Structure 1
Amino acid sequence: MKYRYKILIQIAVLFFPFWLIIDGFIGLLVGNPFHPDVAIILGLLMTGIICLFNIVAFIIKLNSIGWHNIHFYHKFFFFFYVLLAVPSFIAWAPFL
């Protein structure tokens, strides 16, 4: 695996926001009175910021290298982060 460490870094970066979202949903289902919805919104905010950063980094790389010279790893994670950014931006759209 040429990109094994890069994939592990991507998983490590997204672990905490996903943990916050899952923990918030569990708190809502249990009826936790300590506002678990804030954990969900914070996790979505962090996910959106990470997605935005990675999308911008991909666009910069795309402008410098070109679409045909970019490896499959970068193309896959670009579409992955675009798909992840959609629910994050939908959740934060009412606050804008």
Structure 2
Amino acid sequence: MKYRYKVLIQIVILFYPFWLIINGFIGVLDKVPLHPDDLIFFGVLIIGLISMFNILLFMIRLFLLGWHEIGQYYKIFFFIHLILFIPSFTAWLVFLGVINPFRFF
């Protein structure tokens, strides 16, 4: 229970982007004409920013302390944010125009 408040902060920070994604999926399924797919896209982009920031903080902590001195909490959340960062990085590449997903079709 040492990291209870840190886990709660991580959940609170990630709640809003996941809420946007879920709300966007519900809007897409209900065929709402107000572009709910943008909510999904913005939620993924926000998760990418949060994950990138947390990965950067973990790398700084890893450089300063070393792998064996870092707590289990930080290691677990590093891998969670790494998994969240990979699809959001692809969404950022599409958003910035680096890759064109329609070129493959």
Q: Which amino acid aligns with 2:2?
A: K
1:32 is matched with 32
Cα RMSD between the aligned structures?
0.7
Residue 90 of structure 1, CA deviation: 1.8
Please identify, of 36-45 and 85-94, the stretch whose mean Cα deviation from structure 2 is larger: 85-94
1:2 is matched with 2
Runs of 4+ in structure 1 displaced over 3 angstroms?
Answer: none
Q: Which runs of 5 or more structure 2 residues have no equivalent in the other structure?
A: 97-105
Percent identity, aligned pairs only, is 57
Q: Which amino acid aligns with 1:63?
A: F
Residue 54 of structure 1, CA deviation: 0.1
Residue 92 of structure 1, CA deviation: 2.5
2:102 is matched with none
What aligned pairs does 1:62-81 form with structure 2 within 5 A after superposition? 62-81=62-81
For residues 92 and 40 of structure 1, what CA distance do their matches in structure 2 show?
Answer: 13
For residues 55 and 92 of structure 2, what CA distance do their matches in structure 1 show?
Answer: 18
TM-score after normalising by structure 1: 0.97
Q: Which has the higher contact order (CA 8 A, sep 6+)?
A: 1
For residues 69 and 41 of structure 1, what CA distance do their matches in structure 2 show?
Answer: 37
For residues 25 and 91 of structure 1, what CA distance do their matches in structure 2 show?
Answer: 16
Q: Paired residues, what number?
A: 96
For residues 66 and 4 of structure 1, what CA distance do their matches in structure 2 show?
Answer: 23
In our comparison, the structure showing a higher alpha carbon Rg is: 2
